[in-house]
Structure 1
Amino acid sequence: MRFWPPIRSKEPVDPDVDLHVPAQRRELRFPQSPVVAVVAVGGAMGACARYGAGLLWPDAPDAFPWTTMTVNAVGCGVIGVFMVIISDVWAAHRLVRPFFGTGVLGGFTTFSTYANDIRRLVEHREARTGLVYMVLTVLVALAAVWIGSALTRRVVEWRQQ
């Protein structure tokens, strides 16, 4: 198997791209830059909202982390609504899903805080509470996505009648 030097194809990667046109060369240089930018901005917004929720409704270190579970449930419910809207109702711009779905909602919902809450509960000798939280959060999050998407589909069907 030959790894170096790289084998160069005589055919362009995309037959619709003419590398002799400067604008098309520039487009190929950083094709994911807009996506990365909107995910980063959306993620910062979602993380700030989640942080604000933690400031407004703090949980004691040895208490059940209601705030994180609620944030994750709300975020998952919004994900269910959002996915129905952008796939069944609205032809969204190509950056809407990465901005709002991956960025804002990905930054708002949080696996890292969820995992840290479980670790914190175990360290405070609340392993049972940590286990209940671990399982309940997953079930609540899945239910929230399902309910959000099911209700949104019903509303969309009702409005189309």
Structure 2
Amino acid sequence: MENLEKLSFDFFKLFSRLEYALKVTGFNTGDGNANANWGEFSLNIDALFFSSENQELKKSYNYVLANPPKKQIIENGLIKWSSVQPTHNCQTDLILLYVRRIRNNLFHGGKFNGHWFAPQRSEELLYSSITILEHALTLNQQVKQAYEN
């Protein structure tokens, strides 16, 4: 349980810093709300993302693709889980969409409500997401520099 607490903190910190780096380097949705444009970032790094020979990275994205997080929805007034695959532009976009789903499920209470739901799966998804995000941020020099500053 303690490992999940640390993993979730590390995940949120990494995710937040990377999302800021995306927005400040032009991977944003333009005027108005300050939203990161993960889709454009995914397209930008797609050719490089899968060229890595890093076995830990391969294990991580294969785990997420084989065990995709579901999306919490409300149907007829009841909270349910939808396993519909999100619309995506490329394989990297799909993986980063799943990482954002993991973030949303955790942040909005879908995976933690006073106790961890499916703690082993949650731990593996968080660990995999951290590995994926750490790799993704290195693939664009401007994003990496903004993240590090």
Bigger proportion of residues as helix: 1
Bigger proportion of residues as strand: 2
Structure 2 length as normaliser, TM-score? 0.29
Structure 1 length as normaliser, TM-score? 0.27
- Larger Rg belongs to: 1
